[in-house]
Every structure is written in C-alpha cells, then in structure tokens.
Amino acid sequence: GAGVSQSPSNKVTEKGKDVELRCDPISGHTALYWYRQSLGQGLEFLIYFQGNSAPDKSGLPSDRFSAERTGGSVSTLTIQRTQQEDSAVYLCASSVDRGYQPQHFGDGTRLSIL
Amino acid sequence: AQKVTQAQTEISVVEKEDVTLDCVYETRDTTYYLFWYKQPPSGELVFLIRRNSFDEQNEISGRYSWNFQKSTSSFNFTITASQVVDSAVYFCALGGGNAGKSTFGDGTTLTVKP
C-alpha cells in the first residue's frame, strides 16, 4: 500500500511478556518516528530514525523499550517484560526527510497488557 | 529546547459556529516549520498544513484558515462554519531546526454539536 503500515492492529498480552510491534514506512521516506498515545492523551515521542544516522532515543521511557530499523526501511519496536502502564496505542510515522516535512502516520497498534 | 503549547484542552461549539484553535511555540532556531494535524475519532492522524518560519502569509483552504505570527510565536487555526465532521483532536507541531524530530502539542479536542 501507499501509506504507513503497522502490525498488529491490536495486541493483548500478559504482564511480563515481551512484545514486538512492526512499522513499514512509506517507500523512500528516510525519517521514521515512534510515538505512544495513551487514552485521551497527546503524543509521547519515543524514538526517531533518520537515514543511517544514530537514532534519537531520548523519548524511550525505560530500558525495557528498544527499537531498530533494518535496511533503512522496516522498524520494530520491542517492549520487554511488559507492564500494565505500557498499555497504549503505539503510532509510527514516516516522512521524506527530517523535521522539515510532514509526517505520515499509520493506524497504530493498540497494546493491552493484562 | 522546542516547546508547543495548546492551551485549550477541549472546545465545544455548535454547528456553523466559527472556532479558533490556539498554538504557541518556543524555539531558538531561526529556520523551523509549523504543522497542524487532525486526529478524527477513527484514530488516524492526518496532516493538514505546513508553514515555514520565513513565510508569515496566512493561508486559507476552504473553511480552514491559519494565522502565523512570529511576533507572538503563534500559529492559530480557524475553522469557519464548523461542521460535525470537524470533531477531532487537533495537534500543532514544530519541526526542523537542529532537533530533527518534531515536537507536538498536547492537542485540542474539538466537539462540534449538531
């Protein structure tokens, strides 16, 4: 498809389990962002990838969170030993270039930790 | 550091009323970009507009208009003759400069009642 694709759409898991969330950005977009949005809240920045540069991880809330971007395209956000407070919608966005260009968002992954 | 403030958390209007969503930003960069995004109840964030710091011309697109004033560091968004379909959360964002990534405001929830 032409847009940002995220999978799964929904994920329900037990506390303590690890989860992987996937983002497939728009082809040719060099910048990729992960955000977290809790119910009724704003966007919480998590991590930002730009081309081959080292990612900006300043928004990751703890060392249980990590992300990688392989081949400058697909990205995976991993949450280890999930906690109930990790429950949220995780949004991925991509853009043609850095902060100069608008971001195109995926539909998000709704993560629920039981 | 960059900061975006959307002081209005929630706004409720009756259909056909005009409504203005406020956005105030802070940055030390001389070159930067401002954005507005819309997140309807369905959830997907959609880009509406981008302005750069050198272009203070107001922009109008149908019922939507944007007023950018560097003197007050504001980038306000007005919807004329609001409609129920305008009900959404609206986010203002600041990008470009040295940070690379964009900074989002906390969003304003607009409810348009019939």
What pLDDT, on the 0 to 100 scale, is given for residue B106?
A: 94
- Calculate mean pLDDT across residues B68-83: 96
What pLDDT, on the 0 to 100 scale, is given for residue A72?
A: 77
Cα–Cα nearest to A43, from A78, A90, A101, A79:
A90
Residue in B45, B51, B94, B110 to test binding to A, most A beta-carbons within 10 Å = B45
- Calculate mean pLDDT across residues B72-80: 96
What pLDDT, on the 0 to 100 scale, is given for residue B93?
A: 94
- Is B97's Cβ below 8 Å from some Cβ in A? yes
Report, as ranges of residue numbers, the positions in chain A whose pLDDT lies below 50.
none
Burial profile A79-112: b = 16 or more Cβ within 10 angstroms, e = fewer: beebeeebbbbbbbbbbeebbbbbbbbbbbbbbe
Residue of B nearest to A50 (CA): B100
* A48 contacts B50? CB cut-off 8 A: no
What pLDDT, on the 0 to 100 scale, is given for residue B97?
A: 66
What pLDDT, on the 0 to 100 scale, is given for residue B63?
A: 95
What pLDDT, on the 0 to 100 scale, is given for residue B112?
A: 97
What pLDDT, on the 0 to 100 scale, is given for residue B55?
A: 86
What pLDDT, on the 0 to 100 scale, is given for residue B101?
A: 78
What pLDDT, on the 0 to 100 scale, is given for residue A19?
A: 98
pLDDT in tens, A63-95: 999 999 988 799 999 999 999 999 999 999 999
What pLDDT, on the 0 to 100 scale, is given for residue B107?
A: 96
pLDDT in tens, B20-73: 999 999 999 888 999 999 999 988 899 999 999 998 888 889 999 999 999 999
Spell out where B24-114 has E strands: 24-26, 33-39, 46-52, 59-61, 64-69, 74-79, 88-96, 100-104, 108-113
